[in-house]
Amino acid sequence: MGSMNAVEIEEAISVLAERPFDPTEFPYAFLQAFGNKETTLSRLRAGNTNKSDVGGVLQRNNIHLAVAPPGEVSAKLSQLRESPATTKQKAKFILATDGETLEAEDLASGEPLACAWDELPDHFGFFLPLAGITTVRQIRENAFDIRATSKLNKLYVALLKENPAWGSDERRPDMNHFMARLIFSFFAEDTGIFAESRLFTDTVSRMSAADSSNTHEVIGTLFRAMNTKHADRENAGIPRWAASFPYVNGGLFSDKVDVPRFSRTARSYLLQVGSLDWKQINPDIFGSMIQAVADDEERGALGMHYTSVPNILKVLNPLFLDDLRAKLEEAGDNSRTLLNLRKRIARIRVFDPACGSGNFLVIAYKEMRAIEHEINRRRGQPGRPSEIPPTNFRGIELRGFAAEIARLALIIAEFQCDELYRGQKDAIQEFLPLDAENWITCGNALRLDWLAICPRTGTEVKLLGDDLFNTPLDQPEIDFENAGGETYICGNPPYKGRNKKDSTQKGDLAAVAGPRTSKHRTMDYVAGWLLKLADYISAVPGTAGAFVATNSVCQGEQVPVIWPLVYERGVEIFFAHLSFTWSNLASHNAGVTVVVIGLAANGTRSKCLYSGTSMRLVASIGPYLVPNTTVIVKATTTPLGPQKKMYLGSMAKDGGNLVMSLKAARDLVQNHGVNSAFVRQFFGSEEVIYGKPRACLWIDDSHADSALKNAAIAEIVERVRRFRRQSDAPSTRAFASTPHRFVQLSAASGTRAIIVPRVSSENRPYLPVSYFAAGPVIGDKCYAIYDAPLWNMALVASRLHWVWVGTVCVRLEMRFSYSNTLGWNTFPVPALTDQNMADLTRCAEDILLAREVHYPATIADLYDLETMPDNLREAHERNDEVLERIYIGRRFRNDTERLERLFAMYTQMTANEKRSSTARRMRG
DNA sequence: AATCCGACACTAT
DNA sequence: ATAGTGTCGGATT
């Protein structure tokens, strides 16, 4: 099976449906459209793999399809359904067609499909499981949006090819604006906004020459007409054939913008896009798909950056929609209460300072219209004009095309809601001309003053440009009539981790956070939005906001950097969704793990913690998204308690040269005369967890000269030198002069070591930890405690430590990512008596002995939740029992209690630390 | 001089 | 192809 994405499949099916029906070739062409390779098809043709018993084509585990004699499609489908081969070969679909009609069935769900042959492209989504695309239901329900995206993309590319200058930075906005006008025109001609159906497409088709030479002039004339009031058209020289186009204006048609020249291909794509049924557009989904069209880098993943509505509602519902719905519920049929609620809704502003193509805004708008409609229905006023002004939905977006689409998406959403709740006639009547205001700002949200875009509400004075905390570089001059009311800020801003920001993004973050902390470089890019949100909330009382963010803003080193700055504004977390994966339509869903964080002024909202579908009320939510504690844990280089010092292993930075497989090392010694004294076992995380060491070259400076006399060693070392010299990082280049050794020899070593892998699976009930005698090289994917009493290992292996590290250290997606400074040194351990240490040492020994029994089982084997041996489980239970008795004199009831105790102890121990260091300073 | 992170990056199945 | 689970080394303190 190929790896075509939905957009590519749509294209292939469209091509198939446009060609004359070929009964012999159809089954193969169909399979090809879903990504089957030529070799697969030729084997089916030859009959080797064709299992059909009704004269069709049956691909195992896939589809049984057959061509029917004219008019006998239903009969053929029955035949396919009843065929024993269909069941035996586990076909997922059956399909029959005679080239006039087509019938099919999804055998798993029983869902039928019947359509005319040439409508097949409208239903391609039905068959997507054939291409391995099964997970996302939305894609099937939004076949139109994918088709439109695919065709617009072709048009966009063809236009850029014909007008290379339009791809430049200066002209790109014109190009984007042009595309937005086109999309609007297609929508308008299919929804009755234009006087006749297909008016735009037909006019272009009729008036422009087939050789495409004057297509741009025709379109330009139509756009000009739409920007000219009827009374002025004669003076403006608008020709008669453009007369039936309405006056649209709004921001959309007001500026004078050229039309790009069309090639023949571009013209034909234009007409194809126009022939789609734009009534079916879903502005939220379409927008997030189409925005990739104008993005050179993203175009490869066209249509794949769709964000699901349920995920967006994870932000909007707890932020304010749930409350509105609850108020609606309470109001019942009380006309007066309902009226007040309607007035309240009409004054709510929703502001997304990272709005992309506007899907948060569109969904918020639609949900609010639904509530308003229900109010009107209960008050006996169905079909009443909406009081919710689209100008209350504001956004900032950096990418020009996305910003254009966001504006358009809101316009379309408004029309569709009017049509749904008030009927087509009213919707059309009041639709034009469009409002002139542009309430989506194209710009850099971290550089703009949010108060200028979404000013304080109520009767206060205008606050344009009054930014309390920063001096913006660029201020849009927006002065909306201010309705008064609540403001809700929402969105899914971009994430860029510590090492992934480009220089512009670093600058943006420095502008926001630089004045307040020198550590802004460690913050994720998304933190800039969180800080500006906190600023806005403190400046405009009553505001609440929620963003989707990478979960690492609530973990590890970022917590002590970001959250004090939020709290310092008098702002707190009032709801949060714990980590979940943010999925899109990309086939290899490089998922990112996110949280949703809701912020509001201290004490203004009750606190809700969401996890999956469950929700619980809590007293407070801390920056680790843990209930009832707002403690922040800071990395420290020395242990807080009695635990011994833990060191990071040695870092290779060798371009994969010094470290090698055992086999390669053996080959060096046996066949290339390498002295075995220079070869040592090497352990990283994986090597520890799976008990499979690798090898590395380990050459002391004093032996470097003699080692390099060996040709094989010299060659390896030369490759290391080259790799380091070519590195972008100065910290690596600096070690190009000592290529025979690791860049960093761990600060310590010893005869025995307790080893802790850095990254490990979240599916184990205890952190992996191992114990080695001297000899192997410990790589930087491990930490080590050298020559320490074994009770240190008892701590690492405890459930208490699992809970602590899982909370305060960062995670890679959901994996544990261990840290000495953040997780080990900060781990609150009470003072230990000699007896305590002896007991814990015994527990650690028992754990090692329990593992020993199962030799050669690895840590991965032993700590698999399903198959963990009883004796090992018992050894850990005893370890936890002994340790927890030291903490509180009994076992903890659960992990929540463990965490609460640990945070309480941490607070106490760090307070003592502060006091004693102050005392030391005073004495000194 | 030491370490934290990854709108990830692999491998195994 | 996707479920499962940690490499690797740049950028930062």
Nearest alpha carbon to residue A836 among A798, A873, A879, A802: A879
* Nucleotide at minimal C1' distance from the A552 CA: B5
Which positions on chain B have an atom < 7 Å from some protein CB? 1-9
* CA dist., res. A872 & res. A884, Å (int): 18
For A779-834, the pLDDT digits (tens) are: 999 999 999 999 999 999 999 999 999 999 999 999 999 999 999 999 999 999 99
Residue partners of A789: CB distance under 8 A and separation at least 6: A644, A837, A841
> What is the distance in angstroms measured between the alpha-carbon CA of A761 and the sugar C1' of B11?
15
* Nucleotide at minimal C1' distance from the A688 CA: C6
The H or E element containing residue A267 is: helix A264-275
> What is the distance in angstroms measured between the alpha-carbon CA of A812 and the sugar C1' of B9?
12
- Please determine, for residue A470, whether its predicted confidence score (pLDDT) is greater than 70: no
* Nucleotide at minimal C1' distance from the A553 CA: B5
Pairing, β A487-491 against β A440-442: unpaired
> What is the distance in angstroms measured between the alpha-carbon CA of A500 and the sugar C1' of B7?
10
The H or E element containing residue A66 is: strand A63-67
> What is the distance in angstroms measured between the alpha-carbon CA of A914 and the sugar C1' of B9?
42
Nearest alpha carbon to residue A837 among A772, A793, A803: A793
> What is the distance in angstroms measured between the alpha-carbon CA of A312 and the sugar C1' of C10?
34
The H or E element containing residue A561 is: helix A558-567
Residue partners of A61: CB distance under 8 A and separation at least 6: A89, A90, A91, A92
Q: Nearest CA to the C1' of B6 belongs to which residue?
A: A497
Which of the listed ranges A23-37, A759-773, A909-923 does the model predict with the highest average pLDDT? Answer: A759-773
Which amino acid is residue A155, in one-letter code?
L
* Token digits of residue A371: 């509530």
pLDDT computed for residue A185 by the predictor: 96
Q: Nearest CA to the C1' of C9 belongs to which residue?
A: A653
The H or E element containing residue A760 is: strand A759-760
Q: What confidence tier does A874 reach under pLDDT thresholds 50, 70, 90?
A: very high
* Nucleotide at minimal C1' distance from the A521 CA: C12
Q: Nearest CA to the C1' of C8 belongs to which residue?
A: A653
Q: What confidence tier does A475 reach under pLDDT thresholds 50, 70, 90?
A: very low
> What is the distance in angstroms measured between the alpha-carbon CA of A217 and the sugar C1' of B1?
67
The single residue listed with the structure tokens 């001059």 is A477
Kindly write down the DSSP assignment for every residue of A79-130, as one continuous string: HHHH-HHHHHTT-SEEEEE-SSEEEEEETTTTEEEEEEGGGGGGGGGGGGGG
> What is the distance in angstroms measured between the alpha-carbon CA of A640 and the sugar C1' of B1?
21
The single residue listed with the structure tokens 């042009």 is A178
For A633-688, the pLDDT digits (tens) are: 999 999 999 999 999 999 999 999 999 999 999 999 999 999 999 999 999 999 99
Q: What confidence tier does A205 reach under pLDDT thresholds 50, 70, 90?
A: very high
Report whether A624 contacts A554 (CB < 8 A).
Answer: yes
Q: Nearest CA to the C1' of B8 belongs to which residue?
A: A590
pLDDT computed for residue A918 by the predictor: 59
Q: Nearest CA to the C1' of B11 belongs to which residue?
A: A686
Please, which residues bridge with residue A97 across strands? A67, A102
* Token digits of residue A639: 């242990």
Q: What confidence tier does A110 reach under pLDDT thresholds 50, 70, 90?
A: confident
| SS3 state of residue A14 | helix
State chain A's mean pLDDT as an integer. Answer: 89
> What is the distance in angstroms measured between the alpha-carbon CA of A581 and the sugar C1' of C11?
27
> What is the distance in angstroms measured between the alpha-carbon CA of A215 and the sugar C1' of C12?
55
* Nucleotide at minimal C1' distance from the A811 CA: B5
* Nucleotide at minimal C1' distance from the A498 CA: B5
Nearest alpha carbon to residue A300 among A652, A548, A598, A588: A588
Nearest alpha carbon to residue A641 among A818, A800, A774: A800
pLDDT computed for residue A765 by the predictor: 96
* Nucleotide at minimal C1' distance from the A519 CA: C13
Burial class (CB in 10 A: 0-12, 13-18, 19+), A386: buried
Q: What confidence tier does A494 reach under pLDDT thresholds 50, 70, 90?
A: very high
* pLDDT, mean of residues A277-287: 85
The one-character DSSP state at A385 is P
* Nucleotide at minimal C1' distance from the A506 CA: C11
Angle at A247 between CA A244 and CA A250, to 5 degrees: 150
* Token digits of residue A880: 């936890």
- Please determine, for residue A194, whether its predicted confidence score (pLDDT) is greater than 80: yes
* Nucleotide at minimal C1' distance from the A132 CA: C1
> What is the distance in angstroms measured between the alpha-carbon CA of A519 and the sugar C1' of C13?
9
Which amino acid is residue A885, in one-letter code?
R
**What number of CA atoms fall less than 13 Å from residue A655's CA on the CB side?**
19
Report whether A564 contacts A588 (CB < 8 A).
Answer: no
> What is the distance in angstroms measured between the alpha-carbon CA of A262 and the sugar C1' of C4?
50
Give the E-state strand segments of A538-678 in sequence order.
544-550, 571-582, 592-601, 607-611, 614-618, 647-648, 659-660
* Nucleotide at minimal C1' distance from the A812 CA: B6
* Token digits of residue A120: 């097949």
Which positions on chain C have an atom < 7 Å from some protein CB? 1-2, 4-13
* CA dist., res. A648 & res. A818, Å (int): 11
For A623-635, the pLDDT digits (tens) are: 999 999 999 999 9
The more confidently predicted of residues A588 and A578 is A578
| SS3 state of residue A348 | coil
Report whether A65 contacts A91 (CB < 8 A).
Answer: no
Please, which residues bridge with residue A396 across strands? A441
Q: What confidence tier does A861 reach under pLDDT thresholds 50, 70, 90?
A: very high
Distance of CA A325 to the CA centre of its chain: 28
* Nucleotide at minimal C1' distance from the A759 CA: C6
Q: What confidence tier does A137 reach under pLDDT thresholds 50, 70, 90?
A: low
Q: What confidence tier does A921 reach under pLDDT thresholds 50, 70, 90?
A: low
* Token digits of residue A677: 């004294």
* Nucleotide at minimal C1' distance from the A822 CA: B4
* pLDDT, mean of residues A434-450: 90
> What is the distance in angstroms measured between the alpha-carbon CA of A181 and the sugar C1' of C3?
44
* Token digits of residue A596: 């949703």
Q: Nearest CA to the C1' of B1 belongs to which residue?
A: A744
Q: Give me the percent of chain A exceeding a pLDDT of 70.
A: 91
* CA dist., res. A255 & res. A48, Å (int): 63
For A400-411, the pLDDT digits (tens) are: 888 989 999 999
| SS3 state of residue A25 | coil
The single residue listed with the structure tokens 């680790």 is A624
* Nucleotide at minimal C1' distance from the A637 CA: B2
* CA dist., res. A6 & res. A66, Å (int): 24
For A209-247, the pLDDT digits (tens) are: 989 999 999 999 999 999 999 999 999 999 999 999 999
Report whether A668 contacts A674 (CB < 8 A).
Answer: yes
Q: Give me the percent of chain A exceeding a pLDDT of 90.
A: 69
- Please determine, for residue A479, whether its predicted confidence score (pLDDT) is greater than 50: no
> What is the distance in angstroms measured between the alpha-carbon CA of A770 and the sugar C1' of B6?
26
Positive/negative CA dihedral, A846, A850, A856, A858: negative
* Nucleotide at minimal C1' distance from the A689 CA: C6
Q: Nearest CA to the C1' of B5 belongs to which residue?
A: A498
Residue partners of A465: CB distance under 8 A and separation at least 6: A449, A452, A472, A475
Q: Nearest CA to the C1' of B3 belongs to which residue?
A: A648
> What is the distance in angstroms measured between the alpha-carbon CA of A809 and the sugar C1' of B4?
10
H helices present in A768-868, as ranges: 791-796, 799-808, 834-852, 859-862
For A677-720, the pLDDT digits (tens) are: 999 999 999 999 999 999 999 999 999 999 999 999 999 999 99
> What is the distance in angstroms measured between the alpha-carbon CA of A238 and the sugar C1' of B9?
59
| SS3 state of residue A135 | coil
The CA-atom distances, in angstroms, between A264 and each of A63, A205, A272, A310, A836 are: 38, 12, 12, 42, 85
pLDDT computed for residue A686 by the predictor: 94
> What is the distance in angstroms measured between the alpha-carbon CA of A589 and the sugar C1' of C13?
34
Positive/negative CA dihedral, A66, A69, A74, A78: negative
Kindly write down the DSSP assignment for every residue of A475-507, as one continuous string: -----PPP--S-EEEEE------TTT--HHHHH
pLDDT computed for residue A909 by the predictor: 93
Tell me phi and psi for residue A460, to 5 degrees.
Answer: -65, 165
Count of residues making up chain A: 924
Q: Nearest CA to the C1' of C10 belongs to which residue?
A: A729
Q: What confidence tier does A362 reach under pLDDT thresholds 50, 70, 90?
A: very high
pLDDT computed for residue A139 by the predictor: 57
Burial class (CB in 10 A: 0-12, 13-18, 19+), A793: buried
- Please determine, for residue A197, whether its predicted confidence score (pLDDT) is greater than 90: yes
Q: Nearest CA to the C1' of C11 belongs to which residue?
A: A499
The CA-atom distances, in angstroms, between A89 and each of A52, A62, A92 are: 9, 8, 9
> What is the distance in angstroms measured between the alpha-carbon CA of A659 and the sugar C1' of C9?
14
Q: Cα Rg for chain A, rounded, in angstroms?
A: 33
Nearest alpha carbon to residue A559 among A470, A480, A632: A632
pLDDT computed for residue A913 by the predictor: 65
Neighbours of A812 (CB within 10 A): 13
> What is the distance in angstroms measured between the alpha-carbon CA of A591 and the sugar C1' of B4?
21
> What is the distance in angstroms measured between the alpha-carbon CA of A134 and the sugar C1' of C4?
20
Q: Nearest CA to the C1' of B9 belongs to which residue?
A: A590
* pLDDT, mean of residues A461-485: 40
Burial class (CB in 10 A: 0-12, 13-18, 19+), A114: middle
* Token digits of residue A423: 């009927």
The one-character DSSP state at A779 is B
The H or E element containing residue A16 is: helix A6-18
Q: Nearest CA to the C1' of B7 belongs to which residue?
A: A592
> What is the distance in angstroms measured between the alpha-carbon CA of A1 and the sugar C1' of C1?
9
Proportion of chain A in helix, strand, coil states, percent, rounded to 5: 50, 15, 40
Residue partners of A138: CB distance under 8 A and separation at least 6: A285, A306, A308, A309
Report the first-to-last Cα separation within chain A, whole angstroms.
Answer: 74
> What is the distance in angstroms measured between the alpha-carbon CA of A770 and the sugar C1' of C3?
27
> What is the distance in angstroms measured between the alpha-carbon CA of A355 and the sugar C1' of C3?
33
Neighbours of A321 (CB within 10 A): 19
* Nucleotide at minimal C1' distance from the A685 CA: C6
Tell me phi and psi for residue A607, to 5 degrees.
Answer: -105, 130
Give the protein-side footprint of strand B (Cβ within 7 Å): A 492-500, 524, 548, 550, 552, 555-558, 582, 590-592, 594, 635, 637, 647-648, 651, 731, 744, 747, 758-759, 780, 809-810, 812-813, 817, 819-822
